[in-house]
Chains A and B, each alone.
Chain A
């Protein structure tokens, strides 16, 4: 079964707006990563947050992690048409396995 579940499944916003997507997971983790996938391409790593961190920033990206609620959120500020993609969270649970969520499909309308 999937470890991570992203919410919402799909999101459509206007260019310039902020986009927020959430990830919930089931078991304790070592770290959580967010990836982007453009249509027809492989996944590209965006940001990694460790279990002892609560917030992390990278450019227009802000990631939060709440281990007590087993959830994380990815905020993309001032979105651009080029941000149109699917976004996945991935959790490192130990046992040499990384598992991915089902993804949020983001559409940014110019």
Chain B
């Protein structure tokens, strides 16, 4: 079992560029979520999904898009990168919201 796999691990972008952060899980989990982690801020929820075809906004959704076409994959898209989006991004999954979440090892993103 690979668990939750995030790619890439590191990425540097220029302001205005777009990119997709990939997240895949092989545990047949229905609930998936994206967080960003900034120093002193803890983890903040960006978007989440309770199953294929269903997504919703979290605490800090602006500038990000998600889709969930399959149970396994939950990509996060940055539409037009801004320096304020420099952060470490974590994807997580669980059977339901109330169950413990399994985290990937994160994508470290720098926007210049």
Contact = CB atoms under 8 A, between A and B. Distances in A.
Interface residues of B, number: 26
A88 interface: yes
A102 B41 CA distance: 5
Contact of B43 (A30, A41, A44, A88): A88
Contacts of A102: 40-42
A48 B100 contact: yes
Contact of B42 (A41, A45, A98, A103): A103
A101 B103 contact: no
Interface in B1-48: 4, 31, 33, 35, 40-45, 48
Interface string A49-77: 00000000000000000000000000000
A43 B43 CA distance: 10
- How would you classify the secondary structure of chain A's contact residues: helix, strand, loop or mixed? strand
A58 to B, nearest CB: 12
Interface size class of A (residues with CB under 8 A): 20 to 34
B103 A98 contact: no
B59 A99 contact: yes
A40 B104 CA distance: 11
Interface string A80-98: 0000000010101000111
B98 A100 contact: no
A42 B105 contact: yes
Contacts of B31: 96
Interface in A28-45: 30-31, 33, 40-45
B50 to A, nearest CB: 6
Given A41-B105, A42-B105, A43-B90, A100 B100 contact: no
A97 B55 CA distance: 12
B58 A100 contact: no
14 contacts: A31-B98, A40-B105, A42-B4, A42-B90, A42-B103, A42-B105, A45-B101, A97-B45, A97-B48, A98-B45, A99-B45, A100-B35, A100-B42, A100-B44
